[in-house]
């Protein structure tokens, strides 16, 4: 119980919600440019690091290196939940979204939010995004709760992401923290949030599923750097 409270306090650190920004944290005019929105929590926000060190900014670097002209929006807010993401998504839907990376849920689990409520919130985010952007590609970032045993809640939580991906014909990152979770050398002293090396691995985990979608979308003339 004490461990759960400790993790909850660390993961639920709240920061103010900011205007729409690029992955590096600077405000950008993204009109006419294919856009990748990464909606997440502290893992996406880059808790304890600069925005330039968080995986969304590293994804931007990969896109540029590969010659793709996409804008990446880091919509990560430390401490955010699926409910918070649902409340925030409307402000991002004032522009075209070509790819939505949905990386929320772990803070709900630490608050023991019912699985079906999480599922409903994530589905509503997808539905609202598709209502405005019918051709949007969806990537769902899965999470796991290995520290808390193998009870039904833990199993249902882990399975929920794959089920949502299948239902919505979305790409699935099986475990966002694959290769990072539990490794002290890849995390900050809290042993929860990735350090710069850990964020680089997160970027690889995301890129593995994101790149095929980018390749498909790159058929659009504005998606290639000239």
Active site residue ranges: 42, 190, 193
178-183-184-190 Cα dihedral, nearest 10 degrees: 50
Q: Going by DSSP bridges, is the β-strand pair 99-103/35-40 parallel, antiparallel, or unpaired?
A: parallel
Q: Distance (Å, rounded) from C-alpha 118 to C-alpha 129? A: 17
Q: Distance (Å, rounded) from C-alpha 39 to C-alpha 59? A: 14
Residue 64's contacts (CB-CB under 8 Å, 6 or more residues apart) are 225
Handedness of CA 11, 15, 20, 22 (dihedral sign): negative
């Amino acid at each position: 119980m004490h461990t759960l409270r400790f993790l909850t306090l660390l993961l639920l650190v709240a920061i103010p919600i900011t205007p729409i920004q690029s992955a590096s944290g600077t405000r950008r005019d993204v009109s006419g440019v294919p856009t990748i929105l990464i909606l997440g929590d502290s893992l996406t926000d880059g808790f304890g690091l600069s925005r330039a060190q968080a995986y969304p900014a590293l994804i931007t670097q990969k896109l540029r290196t590969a010659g793709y002209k996409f804008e990446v929006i880091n919509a990560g807010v430390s401490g955010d939940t699926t409910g918070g993401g649902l409340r925030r998504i409307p402000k991002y839907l004032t522009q075209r979204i070509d790819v939505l990376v949905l990386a929320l849920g772990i803070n709900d689990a630490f608050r023991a939010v019912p699985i079906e409520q999480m599922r409903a919130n994530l589905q509503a985010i997808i539905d609202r995004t598709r209502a405005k952007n019918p051709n949007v590609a969806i990537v769902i970032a899965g999470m796991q709760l290995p520290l808390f045993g193998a009870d039904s809640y833990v199993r249902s939580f882990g399975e929920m992401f794959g089920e949502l991906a299948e239902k919505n014909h979305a790409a699935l990152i099986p475990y966002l923290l694959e290769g990072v979770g539990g490794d002290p050398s890849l995390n900050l002293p809290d042993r929860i949030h990735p350090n710069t090396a850990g964020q680089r691995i997160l970027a690889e985990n995301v890129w593995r599923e994101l790149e095929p979608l980018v390749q498909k979308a790159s058929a659009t003339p504005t998606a290639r750097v000239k």
